[in-house]
Amino acid sequence: MIQQNFIQLYEDSFKKNWDLPALTDYKGGTSYTYGELAETIAKLHLLFSDLGIQKGDKISLIGKNHSSWSVIFMATITYGGVIVPILHEFNPDSIEHIIAHSDSKLVYINESLWGTIDGDKIKVPVFKIPDFTLLQSDDKQLHEKMSTLDERFRNRYLERFSRGDIRYAEVSNDEVVCINYTSGTTGFSKGVMITANNFAGNITYGQRLNLLFTGERNLAFLPMAHVYGCTFDFLYALATGVHITLLGTIPTPQNLISALKEVRPKLIFTVPLIFEKIYKKKILPIIDKPIVKLLLKIPGINNIILNRIKNSLIESLGGNFREVIIGGAALNTEVEAFFHRMKFPFTVGYGMTECAPLISYDHHYDFIPTSCGSVLDEIMEARIDSGDPENIPGEIQVRGENVMKGYYKNPEATEAAFTDDGWLRTGDSGIIKDNRLFIKGRIKNMLLAANGQNVYPEEVESRLNNLPYIGESVVVLRDYKLVALVYPDVAAVTADNITAERLEEIMLGNKGLLNKSVAHYEKINAIEIVENEFQKTPKKSIKRYLYS
């Protein structure tokens, strides 16, 4: 399926939606209409030209969600450059390495992050966001170029910048427009080369599904330096004429709920962690009460209770959304089952950075519990390498419009990522039924029990994490026995004055509860309490390789 030209999407959108609001910072109040955004982009294009930036040159962008971040991203790709978004949560050594490895010609960075970087290692001009001022450069004439930029821009557009002045670079959909460096659970960072067509495949699919409409609002709180948030909260929204409010602060429950109530978005893109916390902190204490447990078993009465919980949750999330789309990791099965039972409008999609990101999706009214949606029609294909794809789990392999070009300057990793006949290896194990994917877990995480059975630790952990005083867990194999490493729910332990001795007793009880609910080969031999929270990737996936 041939996709619409990626860059043309924005040339068309900015002209069509000229007077509509495009970007607003939730904190700080900075706002751009689509016309103002286009004008600011044009000014940056003039600066890029002054600096000798060529088509295909790389520009690194490091910072939190902010309108200035969005402007640099769009200015780079519409100029014909390649954007290198770097998560602000990466450590300074990683940031320095990515800037160098990506061959970036310019760097835009949040000033607070710049203070953590060894500037002597950065040999290219560095600009500050949010105000685009110069932080560092060996070019003595650059300060003068910066000081006269506004004047030169006015001279170029004597009658004022208008719709008709929007003319962006000709960029083929086959060309790389973004290099997104992963920080996965295996600890190995690779630069995913995302083409214009990869993004276009995702965006036009979203438009085909009518996820959002012109003039509607969304709240971008997922990190846009990660491809999930970037593609749907940002790129899809701008191509559709949506008003994006950028949270720009840590999405704590309090910050998020306040922003959602104010913005009242029509669609919410989120990750499992947020809904798992809502379930454990807000819903579980209600439905675990003996009287409520009893009432939930009575036909008619149970629906009243479930509707009250659902309506209260919908209102706390702004009360105006059509659907919540959950992605980025697997959703806890118990949480998923309850939300489906109360007919909450949510769905779970599946993707990966290497597919920019989407592989499968269903609208909430078509969603089947434990699945992660249908493989994208006319966009992607999927297969299972087990020989019996409906019953025996095997690696999920995909091909189609959204699949990356490869890993930047890493031919060995690129070759290893694809099968001999050109399918991308996802590294995930699953089955496929009626074109719907059902994921079991990461192949690298799979454990081999003493009896030869395959154990997917994520499935055991999803049960563990809903038990009393467990914050998070990692199941590992020791001497062919399963052991659960548990970081306690510190807030709950503190609030209830639980002593260390009592906590050990509770965990012993949790072990018994868990082992009654899993298969024989999934039973754990012990629970070990760890003192520190597990280290995670920016997507909040635990870095398992540190604990195996």
| pLDDT at position 186 over 50 | no
pLDDT at 3: 60
pLDDT at 459: 85
pLDDT band at 183 (very low <50, low <70, confident <90, very high): low
What is the mean predicted confidence (pLDDT) over 412-434?
96
**Percentage with pLDDT > 70 across the chain:** 97
Residue with tokens 């949510």: 346
| pLDDT at position 518 over 90 | no
Distance of CA 354 to the CA centre of its chain: 12
| pLDDT at position 453 over 80 | no
What DSSP assignment string belongs to 20-83? SEEEEETTT--EEEHHHHHHHHHHHHHHHHHTT--TT-EEEEE-SS-HHHHHHHHHHHHHT-EE
pLDDT at 65: 94
pLDDT band at 188 (very low <50, low <70, confident <90, very high): low
Q: Where in the chain is the domain with CATH 3.40.50.12780?
A: 6-246, 267-319+322-443
Q: Which residues pair with 21 in a beta bridge?
A: 33
| pLDDT at position 375 over 50 | yes
At 203-233, the pLDDT tens digits run 999 999 999 999 999 999 999 999 999 999 9
Name every residue whose Cβ is closer than 8 Å to that of residue 326 and which is 6 or more positions away in sequence. 270, 271, 272, 275, 346, 347, 348, 349
pLDDT band at 43 (very low <50, low <70, confident <90, very high): very high
| pLDDT at position 437 over 60 | yes
pLDDT at 56: 98
Which amino acid is present at 530? V
pLDDT band at 261 (very low <50, low <70, confident <90, very high): very high
At 279-319, the pLDDT tens digits run 988 899 999 999 999 999 999 999 999 999 999 999 999 99
Question: Which is it for strands 323-326 and 267-270: parallel, antiparallel or unpaired?
Answer: parallel
| Superfamily of chain region 446-546 | ANL, C-terminal domain (3.30.300.30)
| pLDDT at position 184 over 50 | no
DSSP 8-state secondary structure symbol assigned to residue 280? I
Q: Where in the chain is the domain with CATH 3.30.300.30?
A: 446-546
Q: What's the whole-number average pLDDT of the chain?
A: 93
pLDDT band at 547 (very low <50, low <70, confident <90, very high): confident
| Superfamily of chain region 6-246 | ANL, N-terminal domain (3.40.50.12780)
At 490-499, the pLDDT tens digits run 999 999 999 9
CATH of domain 267-319+322-443: 3.40.50.12780
pLDDT at 185: 40
At 95-113, the pLDDT tens digits run 999 999 999 999 999 988 9
| pLDDT at position 90 over 90 | no
pLDDT band at 451 (very low <50, low <70, confident <90, very high): low
